[in-house]
């Protein structure tokens, strides 16, 4: 299938490894000119985006080549697992999972509006659907889903299609689920994953590439589950 994005400029935020790295690779394979950013790693920009000043600096750096496709992969719990932490700690997790994306979007959506074409894809999670994960993280992802639903309504008429992908457990070397032995995996699959395997970064990247394409023009506000029907 021709996705119709050859020659488009894309920005992948959080592209040093795993899902983000695979998304960058997939978009390049589709002919996009891809810029990547991470805190560390072999990416075009190495920046910590936890401050608004940093996202402003990124926007300035890309002002001559504004992205037509933005994929927000950055996210996580920041190691904050306790529910009764101060709201300032929760705010750090919200900043990582939603605030950074919004501050980047606010710079480039007006350009997309003028050009009558744009794609913004957020990597969400299935944690808030299945009731797993920690309070700060799952609430931040729930807020992200609400953001995608509401903000897409405002800009879809201008050809700016904002969506999200909600992965389940994706096999990632070095992460917790990759360390499970065969018996632990079988127990987990029996309880949570009828498909009997973990997902791959490549499978997520293929969905993201489709959402970045012309074929996703009627998918504004969609949150696509890529979790094999996890329960």
Pairing of strands 118-123, 69-72: parallel
Cβ-in-10-Å burial (0-12, 13-18, 19+) of 63 comes to exposed
The DSSP output letter for 194 is T
The DSSP output letter for 46 is E
CB atoms within 10 A of CB 14: 28
Q: b vs e for 113-129, b when ≥16 Cβ sit within 10 Å of the residue's Cβ?
A: beeebbbbbbbbbbbbb
> What is the Cα–Cα distance from 132 to 67, expressed in whole angstroms?
34
**Torsion from C-alpha of 122, 128, 130, 132, nearest 10 degrees:** 110
> What is the Cα–Cα distance from 86 to 17, expressed in whole angstroms?
31
Q: Please say if 192 is a catalytic residue.
A: no
Phi and psi torsions of 151, nearest 5°: -65, -35
**Residue of 134, 137, 192, 218 with catalytic role:** 137
**Residues annotated as catalytic (active site), given as ranges:** 137
């Amino acid at each position: 299938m021709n996705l119709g994005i050859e020659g488009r400029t894309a920005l992948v935020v959080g592209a040093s490894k795993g899902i983000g790295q695979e998304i960058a690779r997939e978009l390049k394979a589709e002919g996009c000119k891809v810029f990547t950013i991470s805190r560390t790693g072999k990416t075009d920009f190495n920046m910590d985006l936890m401050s608004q000043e940093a996202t402003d600096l990124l926007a300035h750096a890309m002002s001559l080549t504004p992205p037509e496709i933005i994929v927000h992969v950055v996210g996580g719990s920041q190691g904050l697992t306790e529910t009764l932490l101060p709201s300032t700690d929760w705010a750090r997790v919200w900043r990582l999972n939603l605030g950074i994306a919004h501050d980047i979007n606010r710079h480039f959506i007006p350009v997309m509006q003028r050009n009558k074409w744009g794609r913004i894809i957020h990597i969400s999670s299935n944690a808030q659907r299945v009731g797993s994960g920690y309070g700060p993280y799952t609430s931040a992802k729930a807020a992200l889903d609400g953001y995608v639903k509401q903000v897409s309504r405002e800009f879809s008429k201008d050809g700016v299609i904002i969506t999200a992908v909600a992965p389940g457990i994706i096999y990632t070397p070095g992460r917790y689920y990759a360390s499970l032995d065969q018996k632990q995996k079988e127990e987990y699959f029996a309880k949570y994953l009828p498909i009997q395997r973990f997902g791959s970064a490549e499978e997520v990247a293929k969905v993201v590439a489709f959402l970045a394409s012309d074929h996703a023009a009627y998918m504004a506000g969609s949150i696509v589950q890529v979790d094999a029907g996890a329960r």
